[in-house]
Amino acid sequence: MPFYLIFTTPLGHMALIYRVTPFMVIKILLPGQDKEGLVNAAEIFGRQHTGFHDNAFRVKESITDYFKGNPISPPWEWLEMGGLTKLQQSVLETTADIPYGDLKSYKDVAVAVGRPRAYRFVGTTLANNPFPILIPCHRVIRSDGSFGRFGGGSDMKQKLIELEAG
């Protein structure tokens, strides 16, 4: 049974959807919706229950630290990546390695995963990133320097990049 934890960030409420046994983060919903909207969005994952789990609180605190300007690392052991292909996982791992405040292009990520012409695949994978903020897909931009798409919208992507720029 999935649970959710809703918390506040400077950009609005976010939701962490997780299961308890074993503890795994299933999805992170970006800020921008009101609390009720997040609860409704969480229903996609089945009947949800608000809950509290020590590890969920740790993940929430990590995301909260990010919004305070602190670099964070994904808790890989708690991220449910079983539904992703090895190549998709590689794209997410490579993206997570982009240092705080840096930007890379979709092509840079494609080259790093050994598929230099798969920049559209990289874009599609990042568009479906289940763990935004923890896996900083906002740090990946187009080769021409434009932002490209982002699940939270281009304004949020710009705000996240500006946050990291200091």
Which residue, among 77, 97, 83, 67, has the nearest Cα to 128 in the 3D structure? Answer: 83
Cα(67)–Cα(97) distance, integer angstroms: 18
Q: Which residues face 5 on adjacent strands? A: 16
Q: Which residue among 79, 137, 141, 160 is the active-site one? A: 137
Answer yes or no: 35 catalytic.
Answer: no
Backbone angles phi, psi at 7, to 5 degrees: -145, 165
Residue 115, helix vs strand vs coil: coil
Q: Which residues are catalytic?
A: 137
